[in-house]
Structure 1
Amino acid sequence: MLDRGRVQLLVRLTALGFVIAWLFSDALRAWVPFWVPFVVLLGTEAEFVLRARNEPRRPPQRRHVPGPEDADLGFGELVEDEEGFRFVPPPPRPEPPRWRRAAWAAGAVAAAGLFVVAARSDRASTWQALPAAERAQLVERFASEASIIARRPVTLRCDEGYAFTGAGSDTLGIAFPDAGITYLATSVCRDLRELVVRGRAGERQGEALVVLAHEAIHLGGERREAVTECLALQAAVPLGVRLGLSEARARDLAHHEYEERLAERSAIRAAYALPLTCRAGGALDRSPGDGTFP
């Protein structure tokens, strides 16, 4: 049987450690909602409390003070003096130190504080946290860029209602060429915003550029996923430049995405696997002879 106190302490420390890691990790914030470890912690606490209350109460037992017959068991001792042997009882059990209650209270305050910080950080990093006017302006900008790639006027929406992306789906974007509209996951819109507003240019921004270009190429009429993916990798470079990146940095991000797709072996994304002609000088190279790809 495991000691319940140790298990409870281990769960608490694990949950708090996870929250601290979540605060400093973009990858964790992208894949794990901040409230998950808190729900686990709350459920564990509730389970311990309910189980303790449901356990049958033991009948009260009368406690006997240790006597001379217990001296050989370590409860007190027999001391010999002039009057013979006498029993010296053990010292009273010390009361629990006051700092222990203070430590539990401090832990609860720290957990509550981390919850507030995590909630604010999570809220600040989402697309929906942006002011409506800023979101509308960014959507208009993204739609303009998609229209340039598609070579036709198109409509773009950040899928705030999770009608086609997110919330249990790994779809980052979807296009409806006949209707001339595409929906992007809110995480993609947020990453693009970080590029446009803050100049952030990491791997997430590189992926977001390819996703936007991919759906725009679909809107331009290309239906084949593998071909679209290859063309999107190339279109992501000038797209990144128009959104504020240097050409060298935009090309580095696109090349990283290119290498990631070449190394991918997912059966689910088999339709997106780059064809052999997706290379420098290949049939899908839109600028053959320039010595760069994508």
Structure 2
Amino acid sequence: MGIRTLVVVGLSAWAGWLLVRGILLRTVPWIGLGLIAVPLVVLGVTERQWVDAEHRFSAVARALAPGTDGVHCQRLGETFTYAGAELGHVDWDEDGVPTGPAMVSYETCGRLAAYRNSSGTERSDPPLDQVIAVHVLTHEAMHLAGRLREADAECAAMQRDAWVAQQLGATAAEGQALAETYWREVYPRMPDAYTDDACTADGDLDETPGDGQWP
């Protein structure tokens, strides 16, 4: 249970106690209830928006990896107890089967939401952190689909980034531009475990060789 949920539960319990106390004392503490209601509504709306975004990202991931649990967007409270530094990860059992949803970091989910809600110049020329966030979603979906080796998941993801961007509201041209930006500006700087010389146009990891389109 995330911190936001715990706060909502705590505030709700406090409001209930004030109401019961008011009934017993035959006076309703309107000021106290009002002070609780405002943050309770704000937190509830924020959590609802976060859950809606998580469901949307999960639908995209499951389209690429049918039968899996999709995506879990890390909540702010989870960042304080999470020891890893990855933007996303998938846990597997000893047979290489995902044991749950792909975890996507709090910051990455926020950037995915920002990309999904963007328009105009920001959509056609998104900040690099949003480009990376879209790719993280695709990359983790490739892990969910059974590509355990990082270089395989990375290369397969680059060939699907344009499609994922379109599922988040981009046009075909905007999606292709995003995929090309990742290929040019991010992929060359990735650690060796994430790269492969065969990940190039008409290379062994090109899933549609000869089509003249890369990534």
- TM-score of the superposed pair, with normalisation by structure 1: 0.50
Aligned-residue Cα RMSD (Å) equals 2.3
State how far apart, in whole Å, the 2-side matches of 1:291 and 1:238 are: 17
Give, in angstroms, the shift of residue 163 of structure 1.
6.9
The answer to whether residue 115 in structure 2 is matched with residue 195 in structure 1 is yes
SS at match of 2:71: strand
Matched residue, 1:157: 72
State how far apart, in whole Å, the 1-side matches of 2:81 and 2:149 are: 20
User: Pick from 265, 268, 285: which aligns with 2:206?
Assistant: 285
Cα deviation code 1:200-250 (max 9, x no counterpart):
431222111110011111011111001111111111110111111111221
Letter in 1 for 2:136: V
Stretches of structure 2 that go unaligned for 5 or more consecutive residues are 1-42, 93-97
User: Pick from 174, 193, 208: which aligns with 1:271?
Assistant: 193
Matched residue, 1:213: 138
Contact 1:226 1:271 in 2 (8 A): yes
User: Pick from 33, 49, 55: which aligns with 1:140?
Assistant: 55
Cα deviation code 1:39-76 (max 9, x no counterpart):
xxxxxxxxxxxxxxxxxxxxxxxxxxxxxxxxxxxxxx
Cα deviation code 1:153-190 (max 9, x no counterpart):
3232111202786xx75310011243131111111111
Matched residue, 1:182: 102
The answer to whether residue 182 in structure 2 is matched with residue 257 in structure 1 is yes
Give, in angstroms, the shift of residue 198 of structure 1.
2.7
Contact 1:164 1:171 in 2 (8 A): no
Matched residue, 1:97: none
Stretches of structure 1 that go unaligned for 5 or more consecutive residues are 1-127
State how far apart, in whole Å, the 1-side matches of 2:81 and 2:70 are: 15
Matched residue, 2:20: none
Give, in angstroms, the shift of residue 277 of structure 1.
1.2
State how far apart, in whole Å, the 1-side matches of 2:203 and 2:176 are: 18
State how far apart, in whole Å, the 2-side matches of 1:261 and 1:220 are: 23
Q: Which has the larger radius of gyration?
A: 1
State how far apart, in whole Å, the 1-side matches of 2:145 and 2:177 are: 25
Letter in 1 for 2:117: V
- Whichever structure has more helix as a proportion of its residues is 2
SS at match of 2:103: strand
Which piece of structure 1 moves more, 171-180 or 254-263?
254-263
Alignment of 1:223-242 (within 5 A): 223-242=148-167
Letter in 2 for 1:191: R
Structure 1 consecutive aligned stretches of length 4 or more whose deviation exceeds 6 Å:
none
Letter in 2 for 1:281: D
Matched residue, 2:24: none
Matched residue, 2:22: none
Contact 2:68 2:144 in 1 (8 A): no
> Structure 1 pair 279/137, CA: closer, same or farther in 2 (3 Å)?
same
Letter in 2 for 1:137: D
Contact 2:165 2:178 in 1 (8 A): no
Matched residue, 1:62: none
